[in-house]
Amino acid sequence: MKIGPKYKIARRLKAPVFEKTQTQKFSLREERKGKRKRFSKPKTDFGIQLNEKQKARMFYCVTEKQFAKYVKQSLAKKAHTPAVNLLQSLEQRLDNVVWRAGILPTHLSARQAVSHGHFLVNGKKVYVPSFAVKSGDKISIREGSRGSKLFSDVADKKTETTMASWLTWDETKKEIEVKDGTFTEKADLLFDLGQVIEYYQR
């Protein structure tokens, strides 16, 4: 998936949706630009909803077609609210799980590593970044890939990362296990999934 100029997109969306924009340097630049900015016309409800949708889509590096499919599925499920169903679908993508576990630094690098067949799910090689993991699944780095430069400093990366509460990591086996997680809309999300759902329900 081609993203485009990340700094420019993050500025337009007014949110640090990419890992490279989640830095103090980017924040200070935006703060200085904000002080110089002229008055801008407030957005319409549609504009706000569109912006939130784009923020969520860019954060997870998902195409428009894939994202619309997730929303449709979330609206059809009855287990939780559509917003929580959508969050669960996005969080349980294999590329997101690899990123959440702290094995790779960005969503895009995790997506690429999955596409190149570096990971196994329950012992089977998976090439699809959108593969949906479930409770009890075990994701491991393929034996032939463990010596790769890509994974040479996994232990160091892990110490710098706060792993999602619904994942566990086995350092010896180089394996992630998916626990039965409770997904809720959190205040620290960079986007409002309720607005995203409203965008698709127009």
Residue ranges of the alpha helices (H) in the chain?
A: 6-13, 24-36, 45-60, 64-76, 82-91, 94-100, 107-115, 154-159, 193-200
Among 136, 139, 134, smallest CA distance to 154 is for 139
Which class for 105: exposed (0-12), middle (13-18), buried (19 or more C-beta within 10 A)?
Answer: middle
List of domains in the chain: 6-79+191-200 (no CATH), 90-178 (3.10.290.10)
| Residue pair 117/142 in contact by the 8 Å Cβ criterion | yes
DSSP state of 182: P
**pTM here?**
0.81
How does pLDDT run along the chain (202 residues), one tens digit per residue?
555 566 566 666 666 666 555 555 555 555 555 555 554 556 799 999 999 999 999 889 899 999 999 999 999 988 789 999 999 999 999 999 999 998 888 888 899 999 999 999 999 999 999 999 999 999 999 999 988 888 877 766 665 667 888 999 998 888 999 998 667 766 567 899 999 999 999 8
